[in-house]
Each structure stands twice: as structure tokens, then as C-alpha cells.
Amino acid sequence: MSNQILCSTGTMVGRANGYDYRVIIENKDLPGSDGFELMMLKAWYDKLPEVASSLEKAGIFTPTIHFEKDVGAMLGLGSDAEHEEGLRLFRANADMAKAVGAKKAVFHLWDGRFSEKQIARVIEELDELYEICERRGVELAVENVPSRKPTPLANLLFIAEKYPRARFTFDTRHATYMGECQAFFESALWESRICHFHVSDYSGETVPGMWGVTRPILHPGEGIIDFETLFAEMPAYHGGTVTLESPVLGDDGSLDLTKLVHSLFYLAEKMKDC
């Protein structure tokens, strides 16, 4: 089975260019990429129909979407009112997925601030989240983002046991930070439950005061991850989609497309037919 090599729109859209979705359209024929993973942004909430319509008219292929990263925190860390707002935004993200034709949705169900009790609570609510996505023809893929206790792998194993329909996103940066790459490769999840794959590197550093937030996000080979060894030790991956998440947006709004294309072709070499 051949895997699609995707480029996250987060590699090229950000604060430096005003979160301008038109940058995606301007670079839609990106060499080395089979399509895009649409990174949902807070700045788009007041114009989602405009963004979706423009991307569709431009023929942007987005088989995956990354739900806005703070929605999970609203569901698990906030007040009752914030929880309800989190559900509303989750539905808005799911509606956007349907509007752009995405079939998989990456989701941060927790982050490093969550306690063990809070993680258990949001896992209990997953059934409703799965239903919201399934009604829109979208497969929800919870990502292995860092957590203190239980570990990301333990969380996903518990979810897999509780929800037979559960599928997941494996992220190289998160797994390396947690020291769980090999454990994932050897787990029962790998063969049938990992449906999406994120690739990026990092320096080994985290944002001061923010446990588990690995920054800056680097390109394969620029940080501490030995990708040659990782790919050599990794069992065959047949999830169908692989996304490069490493940004190329400069502080002045410029894009280093040469670097982006180089990384995409590297991923194609390693993961297109693995």
C-alpha cells in the first residue's frame, strides 16, 4: 500500500503572514507533496465558510485536517461554560473537515497540563466526539501528544480497548520526547490502529515553563532524532497518510520552499512505500 505524502499548512501559514490561507493556494502545486493537512487556526473561526470555499475552488486536496489545538484543553481543563464552548468549536472543526473533504482528523485530546483524572474524564467523553466526526464522514485520530501520567502510549492503549473504532496519529517528535518510539513500534496498536503519521524534529529543548511543548520545530536531520535509525527500526507503516509538520515560514513572511520540498522528497523516499 502506498502512503500519501502530505504537507501541513502550518509549515507555511502563521503569524508572520497574518494567518493568510491564500498562501496555501499560491503553493498548491508543491513538488513532492500529494496534498495538504489543513491546520485549523483560531484566526479562521470567523471566516470558515470563506476559507473552505476558497480552498475548494482552488482544488486544494486535503485528505487530513488537524483540529485546532486548544479545543481539547477547553474540553478537559475549563469550566462547564468553557467545556460547552469546546464542544461547539469541536463541531465547527468537524464541519470544516467535511467542507474541505478531509477524511481523517488529528486531535490533541490532552496536553502536558492535564492531570491523570482530567485525562480519564476526556477519554470518557470520546464517544460523543467520535459520533460528531462519524456523522460528517471523518475519522478522528487522537495524537500521542506528551502527557505526564499516564504516558501517551498508555492513554492510547486504554482508548483502543474502550473504543474498538479508535484510530490514532503517531508523531515522531512527541514519541521521541516521551522516549516511546520503540514501545509504539512493538505495541499492538501499530499494525491496525495507527492511521496517520506526523514527521518533524526538534532540538531537545522545550518552551520554558511549558512541559512537553517541544520548540523550535525542526526539519528531519536538523535536530536530535536519528531518522535513519528510526525508519530502519520501524515496522512497516500502512496507515495511508504521512504529514511533514516542519515549518519554513520566516519572521519576515518569506517561505523557504527549497527546504520544504527537500524534506517532502526525503519523506517520500522513506515512507511512500514502506
Q: What is the mean pLDDT of residues 171-183?
A: 99
On whether the pTM is more than 0.85, the answer is: yes
Contact 32/261 with Cβ under 8 angstroms? yes
Residue whose cell numbers read 520554558: 208
The pLDDT score that the predictor gives to residue 247 is: 99
> Where are the domains positioned within the chain?
4-271
Residue range 3-28: mean pLDDT, rounded = 99
Strand boundaries in the chain, DSSP class E: 4-8, 35-39, 64-66, 104-107, 139-143, 167-171, 194-199, 201-202, 217-218, 241-244
pLDDT at residue 78, as a whole number: 86
Average predicted confidence (pLDDT) for the chain: 98
Q: How confident is the model at residue 15 (pLDDT cuts 50, 70, 90)?
A: very high
| Residues in a beta bridge with 104 | 64, 139
> Rounded mean pLDDT of 206-234?
97
Residue 18 CA to residue 273 CA, distance in Å, equals 36
Q: What is the model's pLDDT at position 22? A: 99
Measured between alpha carbons, how far is residue 77 from residues 71, 205, 258 in Å? 10, 25, 40
Q: Averaged over 104-126, what is the pLDDT?
A: 97
DSSP strands (E only) in 27-120:
35-39, 64-66, 104-107
CATH class of the 4-271 domain in this structure = alpha beta
pLDDT confidence bin for 260, thresholds 50/70/90: very high
pLDDT value of position 115 = 96
Question: In the prediction, which pLDDT does 274 show?
Answer: 78
